[in-house]
Structure 1
Amino acid sequence: MSVPGPDHLIERARRLAAPGHRRILGIAGAPGAGKSTLAEGLVEALDGLAVLVPMDGFHLAQRELNRLGRAGRKGAPDTFDAAGYAALLTRLRDPDPTVTVYAPAFDRALEEPVAGSVPVAPGVPLVVTEGNYLLHDEGEWARVRPLLDETWFLEPDREARVRRLIDRHVRYGKERSFAERWVRDSDEANARLVERGRHRADLVVEPTT
């Protein structure tokens, strides 16, 4: 099923944000699909009923990627702390009414995760989380999908997605030629892996812009 416009998505998210019970909405898709833009827009539209907890906060630090020999594949499934992400989602599903949970975020300017960046107050009814591998079913990633009350798969036009992805790399300091190679050799390999989980989504969203 595809949803044609943003108002439908806002209303669907609003139903999940009904007070009295914590729910988690996952937004999955390939690199550059627009996941963070959609997630941020939903949280803004819900005006205090939702908070955004990005999967990218669980990137391994560059130093650890270098130690493991995975720096050239940054963004692949094994360059994240998948078990840590699943543990946080587990904690968020059943909030302690007296405790604010702090989640990490990812600083694109630094290209590093930053701990304790996102406060999730116990009374917020909806957590929106977005990332590439929410529907991935290998290793620790298989723990993630059952922790999400609903998952959307964002599927824009491929050419537009790749163009946006290259532009984003350039905006954060990469040379265009390097960005084009990285997208071709790394990001698109990850995109093909992400696509395999599309059928596990509750909703496929095909943005018009």
Structure 2
Amino acid sequence: MNPEQLLDRARRLAATGGRRLLGIAGPPGAGKSTLAEYLVEELAGDAVLVPMDGFHLADAELRRLGRTDRKGAPDTFDAAGYTALLSRLRHPEPDTVVYAPAFDRGLEQPVAGSIPVAPDVPLVVTEGNYLLLDAAPWTRVRALLDEAWYVELDSEERVRRLIERHEEFGKPRPHAERFVHESDEANARLVEACRGRADLVVTFEQGTAPGSAAP
């Protein structure tokens, strides 16, 4: 599907009545965030973006748990908190704004209460690596989504972009390469194993995926 077709599919989902949740999953660097941002921007006030990354554990907690070098793995997120938020969003209460956390890439930290979700917004778009993971405590996430899309990109291009992203946010090149190959790619293999749980697989080709051109 091209971007316009994806937008049309999201628009139809938003128009079905009530609150709908669209999940966009995929391995690190595949273009989930850019696609989600594109959809929400084009849908204007009919959609809001709530990223899974807002539920990263803070670095202080990762240090306490001894998981700093594995930041981004499934057990470095508050999965139960994310699921609880999705449940609240799935069943909005009249006149009640729900506040979701965001993730500041400059700080590499979650920021609570950053994203207001009004009860009359018909579509919530959420994106992240582990939306389709079939392992506790992530299993409940899939059941809360009306649709789940899986985004994939040529692996060499995806790895190149991941390394560049880590460099952009302050990691020296050798550190960025080591982190991608030892951590991000281990997580990518977990995510790829859940591809079959998606309603739609979106494949971007090298040079046309989000990040290299308009999505």
- TM-score, normalised to structure 1's length? 0.97
Distance 1:182 1:47 in 2: 36
Aligned to 1:22: 19
Letter in 2 for 1:142: T
Measured after TM superposition, the shift of residue 52 of structure 1 is 0.1
Distance 2:94 2:158 in 1: 40
For the pair 1:203 / 2:200, whether they are aligned, the reply is yes
Which of 143, 147, 159 is equivalent to 1:146?
Answer: 143
Aligned to 1:34: 31
Aligned to 1:89: 86
What SS is found at the alignment partner of 1:206? Answer: strand
Distance 2:166 2:142 in 1: 29
RMSD: 0.7
For the pair 1:108 / 2:105, whether they are aligned, the reply is yes
For the pair 1:172 / 2:136, whether they are aligned, the reply is no
Measured after TM superposition, the shift of residue 80 of structure 1 is 0.2
What SS is found at the alignment partner of 1:48? Answer: helix
Percent identical = 72
- TM-score, normalised to structure 2's length? 0.95
Q: What do the CA deviations read for 1:85-134 (whole angstroms, capped 9, x no partner)?
A: 00000000000111000000110110100000100010000000000000
Distance 1:143 1:58 in 2: 16
Measured after TM superposition, the shift of residue 68 of structure 1 is 0.3
How many aligned positions are there?
Answer: 206
Aligned to 2:126: 129
What SS is found at the alignment partner of 1:146? Answer: helix
For the pair 1:69 / 2:72, whether they are aligned, the reply is no
What SS is found at the alignment partner of 2:149? Answer: strand
> For structure 1, which runs of at least 5 residues remain unmatched after alignment?
none
Distance 2:53 2:76 in 1: 10
Q: How does 1:42-81 map to 2 (within 5 A)?
A: 42-81=39-78
What SS is found at the alignment partner of 1:129? Answer: strand
Deviating beyond 6 angstroms after TM superposition, the runs of 4 or more aligned structure 1 residues are none
Aligned to 2:96: 99
> For structure 2, which runs of at least 5 residues remain unmatched after alignment?
209-215
